[in-house]
Each structure stands twice: as structure tokens, then as C-alpha cells.
């Protein structure tokens, strides 16, 4: 949803549309017809001889809000006061907002409601809960049971759109198993022992005798840790039964 004006200190995504010798004019993305100005002194650290060596028309970048004239709606911006990390974070969040807006339109179409009504009914609460609307779509896509206790047609539509359009971010953790067995059927016993550690999201690969690689991939670190712990525990317990000497080395 577009906003009226940012606050001093905010980081904003801008698109530059006019560059002159003394500065540049730009449009603030995500705001209602708000324009900003970057004075040449705020373009880069040190002396700027040619402003076009640093910025150009059509360029999209991140600036810091340093002053606002609320009566005229003018926003003074700084490019040099934004570091590379802040720029990456802000652009990523802005892109997420753009995606979330399009996904919310799909939800609104499924519900046959205006997008403004959907925002008031549930999207604003989700932004407050998750920080961004896209983060809510990510969680709805990843969670087996999303927001338990909450009911409504909007929730069903939201989950449907999330799972059809949002790739779940995944976390992978693992380690190495070293396994020995002196029995004549040692290979079979090791195979059976490894099978005891299999579960959804678990991969066990041969890494060259006597090593085996176990990797767990899950939507979040905690669930990955829990699954890895259970898998390794099952392998260790089965190792004792099968007289297989097993050592686990975590990454």
C-alpha cells in the first residue's frame, strides 16, 4: 500500500528522473506522488566533479531521508549516507513489498473484494505481526498449520496463494558419520543402521568408506536441528543393536 510521506532517517527506494549539475530529482517508490531531491553535496563522499559519474536518469537506488517539508511535500535525500549493506537490505525489502502487493491482489480477486478492504480486514494485522506482508506469505507457504485458531475465508485464500506462488526459504545443516562393523554382514548392518535415520528432509550419502554424509533441509533452523538430532539419535541406538561402531561429527 502506498504511503503519504516518509520520516526523517528512513531509508527509501528512489528512481532518478532528472539530473542537473547541482543535484538530482527522483521519485520515491511506495509513496503517493512524492518526489525527492539529492543535492550534489549528498551524492558521494568527497568532492564530486561530475555528478553523472555517480548517478543517472532511470537509476533506481536507496537514499536516506534527511529533511522533509510537509507543507510542500518536498523530501531532501542523501545517497552518500547509505552503506552497501543498508542498500541491499532496503532493496530486498522493497522487492518483497512489490511481490506481496501483487499476491494480495490475487487474494482479493479470489475473495471478490477490493484490495483496500482486504488490507483493512487482515493484511494490516499481518504486517504488524510479521513486519512485512511478504514475510507473512513466506510463513504461510512454509508452515504446515499456519496461524492456528484463526478462521475465515481470507485465511484459506491467503494460504492457497502463498503456497502456489512463494518458494519456501530453506535451511540445510548436517555432519559426517564414520561407521565400522567387523561382522561378515557388516555392509548390510551399516545399511540398516543408516536407514533408521531416514526421515522427511533427511539425505544420507556415501562419502567414501567409512564416511557417510547426513544433511537435513527444513524451512527453519530449529526444525532442522530437531530432525538432525532425532535422526542421529536413531542411528546411534541402532548402531548399538547392530554392533556398528559409529561416530558423528557435526559441521
Tens of pLDDT, residues 166-203: 987 778 899 999 999 999 999 999 999 999 999 988 99
Environment class of 235 (CB within 10 Å of its CB; exposed 0-12, middle 13-18, buried 19+): buried
Asked if the model's pLDDT at residue 3 lies above 70, the reply is: no
What is residue 70's predicted lDDT score, i.e. its pLDDT? 79
pLDDT in tens, 38-48: 999 999 998 99
pLDDT at 101: 93
- Helix pair angle (153-165, 84-111), 10° resolution: 130
Instruction: Identify the structural domains of the chain with CATH numbers, from first to last.
Output: 11-82 (2.40.50.140), 85-165 (1.10.150.190), 171-250 (3.30.70.1130)
pLDDT at 1 over 60: no
Write down the pTM of the prediction: 0.60
- Categorize the per-residue pLDDT at 77 as very low, low, confident or very high, splitting at 50, 70 and 90: very high
What tens digit of pLDDT does each residue of 130-154 get? 989 999 998 899 887 899 888 899 9
Q: Which three cell numbers mark 224?
A: 532442522
What is the rounded CA–CA span in Å between residue 172 and residue 140?
Answer: 20
Q: What is the pLDDT of residue 33?
A: 85
How would you classify the pairing of strands 171-180 and 35-39?
unpaired
Amino acid at each position: 500500500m502506498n504511503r503519504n510521506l516518509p520520516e526523517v532517517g528512513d531509508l527509501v527506494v528512489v528512481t532518478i528522473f532528472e539530473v542537473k549539475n547541482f543535484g538530482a530529482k527522483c521519485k520515491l517508490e511506495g509513496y503517493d506522488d512524492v518526489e525527492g531531491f539529492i543535492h550534489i553535496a549528498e551524492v558521494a563522499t568527497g568532492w564530486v566533479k561530475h555528478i553523472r559519474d555517480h548517478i543517472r536518469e532511470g537509476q533506481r537506488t536507496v537514499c536516506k531521508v534527511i529533511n522533509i517539508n510537509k507543507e510542500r511535500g518536498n523530501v531532501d535525500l542523501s545517497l552518500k549516507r547509505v552503506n552497501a549493506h543498508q542498500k541491499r537490505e532496503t532493496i530486498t525489502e522493497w522487492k518483497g513489498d512489490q511481490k506481496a502487493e501483487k499476491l494480495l491482489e490475487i487474494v482479493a480477486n479470489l475473495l471478490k473484494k477490493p484490495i483496500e478492504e482486504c488490507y483493512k480486514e487482515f493484511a494490516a494485522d499481518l504486517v504488524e505481526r510479521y513486519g512485512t506482508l511478504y514475510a507473512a506469505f513466506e510463513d504461510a507457504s512454509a508452515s504446515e498449520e499456519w496461524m492456528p485458531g484463526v478462521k475465515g475465508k481470507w485465511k484459506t485464500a491467503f494460504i492457497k496463494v502463498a503456497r502456489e506462488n512463494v518458494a519456501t526459504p530453506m535451511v540445510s545443516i548436517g555432519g559426517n558419520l564414520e561407521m565400522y562393523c567387523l561382522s561378515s554382514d557388516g555392509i548390510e548392518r551399516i545399511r540398516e543402521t543408516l536407514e533408521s535415520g531416514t526421515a522427511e528432509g533427511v539425505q544420507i550419502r556415501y562419502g567414501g568408506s567409512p564416511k557417510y554424509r547426513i544433511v537435513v533441509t527444513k524451512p527453519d533452523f530449529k526444525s532442522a536441528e530437531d530432525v538432525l538430532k532425532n535422526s542421529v539419535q536413531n542411528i546411534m541406538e541402532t548402531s548399538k543393536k547392530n554392533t556398528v561402531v559409529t561416530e558423528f561429527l557435526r559441521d
